[in-house]
Amino acid sequence: MAERILVINPNSSLSCTDGIAAAIAPFAAPGLPRLDVTRIVDGPPAIVTWRDWYGIAEPLCRLVESEPADAYIIGCVSDPGLEAVRTVTDKPVFGTLRCAIAAAMMRGERFGIVAFTDKSKPRQRRALQAMGVEDRLAGTVPLNLDMEVLTDPVAPRARLAEAARQLVALGAEAVILGCAGMASHRAFAEDACGVPVIEPCQAAVTQALLAVVAARAGRLRMAAE
């Protein structure tokens, strides 16, 4: 009965998928759309290269074609395949990086990104360019840690805190966690750096809620008129 928002983790990491599920769980509530998370089982362990990024578009399209939902979220902070996925469904499709940028811009005029690796930056640049806000990026600081380290409850925190503080020193008035694998460290990072820290899957879920709940309300209103 209820609508469904489907977050698709384009990598195959279970710990990353679990982290996404844990990050968005607090946004589930009775009467609101159900929040489901899935992953591309035969995707790469992480989207690290341009080849990963391009190559995952087709599996994402196929999954969306076979999994009905009222809104889709591409759960990787480089928005792979976004434009392609939009062509295979008439439901809204959200990129987590774009949603995180939008949310960060609601809290400050310059923002920074704690990146998964050195190599993430050029892909994130594309999302910034697509939104026309490349010059609002105060900086990018990479962690360069493995996905398994990143999703550890403790291991990445010292480096994450340092990265977030560096971004604030560069002028960031909000900070984006540049990989879904950092989701469990949001509050820690915010305490560490003193400016709002945005977790991209949470940001995307709330954009999806906006679209799905507003659509439902509209249908009810139009039916009642």
Name the site residues for a copy of itself (rule: CB under 8 A): 23, 26-27, 29-32, 49-51, 53-55, 57-58, 61, 81, 83-84, 86-88, 92, 94-95, 98-99, 102-103, 105-107, 109, 122, 125-126, 129-133, 135-136, 153, 184, 186-188, 190-191, 196, 199, 202-203, 206-207, 209-211, 213-219, 221-222, 225
Cα 192 to Cα 197: distance, rounded to the nearest angstrom:
10
**H/E segment holding residue 15:** helix 14-24
> Which residues have C-beta within 8 Å of that of residue 1, sequence separation ≥ 6?
none
For a copy of itself, the closer of residues 38 and 206 by Cβ is 206
For a copy of itself, the closer of residues 133 and 170 by Cβ is 133
Strand order across the 197-198 sheet: 137-142, 111-115, 174-178, 197-198
CB-side exposure of 184: number of CA atoms within 13 Å? 19
CB-based burial label for 65 (10 Å; 0-12, 13-18, 19+): exposed
CB of 65 vs a copy of itself, minimal distance in Å? 11
Alpha helix ranges (H) inside 132-195:
147-150, 157-169, 186-193
CB of 145 vs a copy of itself, minimal distance in Å? 19
CB of 196 vs a copy of itself, minimal distance in Å? 7
For a copy of itself, the closer of residues 23 and 145 by Cβ is 23
CB of 126 vs a copy of itself, minimal distance in Å? 7
CB of 143 vs a copy of itself, minimal distance in Å? 19
